[in-house]
Amino acid sequence: MADPGDAPGAVFLSLPPPPEASVPWNSRYCCQSDGPAPVTIELLIHSLVRQTTVLIAQLATSGGTRAPLAQVANQVFLDLVRELERQGVSRKVSADMFGLGLRTYQRKIQRLTASATEGGQTLWVAVLKYVESHGPVSRAELLGHFYCDDEVLVRGVLHDLCESGLVTVQGSGASVTYGIVPEEELARLRQTRHDEGFDELVWALIYRQGPLGAAQLAEQFPETSGLEAALARLVESGRVEYSPEAGVYHASILLVPLGAEVGWEAAVYDHFNALVNTITGRLREQRSAASLKDSTGGSTYTLEVWPNHPHKEEVRETLRSLRSQLGELRGRVERYNAEHARPEDFEKVLLYIGQCVIPQDTDRDSDHD
């Protein structure tokens, strides 16, 4: 079957077959007959991590902000651990995958999930509570109190708390002291965060991952102040529904208007969530090749155009055209659903459409040769 991307000026790339497929991969991807070579998977993982770090760095500096990143590496490790366990991978195997001995692996998990000094709570929470109850407090006193915890981790938590605006720092060197930010200042910061799309991001999380309880939602936020108020606003506005019997929040729709100045964070999350769900869904399927008849999968088309190209405007208008078609289709589906009760068994079809234009300036590139 000919790929639709065989036309001149187009490149058609479909998601490759999943590793579990019985038919061997093409040698372009793998040199073994019984599945993808480990080095191929490792290269793919490294490439995805690099692209993800580009996205994180861009988000961390978006609009002139400088979002704290001190805990990102630890969060990635713990999220990987939890996902591997959810997939049934034993801790011994997981430790081997990280290149750690089992005991070292378990100690690292314990260190990151709970403070060795203040048992039952994370180091982040423990340090914040200590500063709140004892501040202003010197760095030496803090490090002395949390002597059972890794000093590098304690310093990282302090830096993160300061960058987050929850803790103030005064002085330098040995005379550095830390204090809690006044509640009235925190209230102002929370309102600012709400204005910047906090409610919409919570809404997106509930829509994609719900139904979720308040505790489950709180696990996804490094700092949960303002979450309760955001949930109340979402329920009051009708964007999110709360089921008292089950104690969970759920949403039947997510809508961030095109070009909205508030809520773009929710749109970014929703795009990325759709992309990840599509790829992981494709990898789970037991087939050797993608087909246009598939209901799960993705394709990437690269079209090269230039000034006076007869198809330039048609190519550039593709995103607008597809948005219009899908928006009209969604409207018809929603109108039908409003008039008919949804059965217990149903499908949620997730469609992701993305497009970007990347100028290719050969003169500019040649300047760096």
Residue at 322: amino acid letter: L
Q: What is the span of the domain harbouring residue 204?
A: 192-286
Contacts of 178 (CB under 8 A, 6+ apart): 131, 135, 136, 137, 138, 139, 142, 158, 161, 162, 167, 168, 169
What is d(CA 297, CA 351) in angstroms, rounded to the nearest whole number? 10
- Two tokens at 124? 């982040």
How many residues make up the chain in this entry?
369
Count how many domains the chain has: 2
Give residue 9's pLDDT.
39
Contact (Cβ atoms closer than 8 angstroms) between residue 79 and residue 72: no
Q: 184 lies in a domain?
A: no
Burial of 305 per CB tally in 10 Å (0-12, 13-18, 19+)? middle
Closest CA to 242 of 208, 216, 205, 210: 210
- Two tokens at 107? 């100690």
Bridge partners, 301 (sequence order): 12
What is d(CA 265, CA 121) in angstroms, rounded to the nearest whole number? 29
Question: Which residue reads 């998601």 in tokens?
Answer: 15
Bridge partners, 45 (sequence order): none
Closest CA to 253 of 348, 132, 175, 182: 348
Q: 277 lies in a domain?
A: yes
Task: Tell me which of 9, 34, 67 is where a domain ends.
Answer: 67
Burial of 344 per CB tally in 10 Å (0-12, 13-18, 19+)? exposed
Residue 180 φ then ψ, to 5°: -80, 145
Task: Tell me which of 286, 310, 344 is where a domain ends.
Answer: 286
What is d(CA 231, CA 228) in angstroms, rounded to the nearest whole number? 5
Contact (Cβ atoms closer than 8 angstroms) between residue 23 and residue 10: no
Neighbours of 61 (CB within 10 A): 11
Task: Tell me which of 286, 318, 345 is where a domain ends.
Answer: 286
Q: What is the pLDDT tens value at each position of the chain, 369 positions in all?
A: 333 333 333 343 444 444 443 333 332 333 333 455 566 677 778 777 777 887 787 777 776 667 767 677 777 888 899 889 988 899 999 999 888 898 888 878 877 777 777 766 777 778 888 888 887 888 889 889 988 887 877 887 787 777 766 788 888 777 789 888 776 655 555 555 444 578 888 888 888 888 899 888 887 775 566 788 889 888 888 889 999 999 999 887 777 666 666 677 788 888 888 888 888 887 777 555 555 456 888 888 889 999 999 999 999 999 999 989 998 998 899 889 889 998 989 888 888 888 888 888 765 444 444
DSSP state letters, 21-46: -SSPPPTTT-S-SSS--HHHHHHHHH
Report if pTM > 0.85.
Answer: no
Burial of 64 per CB tally in 10 Å (0-12, 13-18, 19+)? exposed
Q: 295 lies in a domain?
A: no
Give residue 135's pLDDT.
74
What is d(CA 164, CA 158) in angstroms, rounded to the nearest whole number? 10
Give residue 294's pLDDT.
67
Q: 337 lies in a domain?
A: no
Q: 36 lies in a domain?
A: yes
What is d(CA 364, CA 60) in angstroms, rounded to the nearest whole number? 28
Q: 197 lies in a domain?
A: yes
Give residue 183's pLDDT.
62
Cα–Cα distances (Å) from 189 to 139, 160, 183, 350, in that order, read 25, 16, 10, 35
Give residue 30's pLDDT.
35
Q: 354 lies in a domain?
A: no
Contact (Cβ atoms closer than 8 angstroms) between residue 112 and residue 76: no
Q: 364 lies in a domain?
A: no
The CATH number that applies at residue 223 is 1.10.10
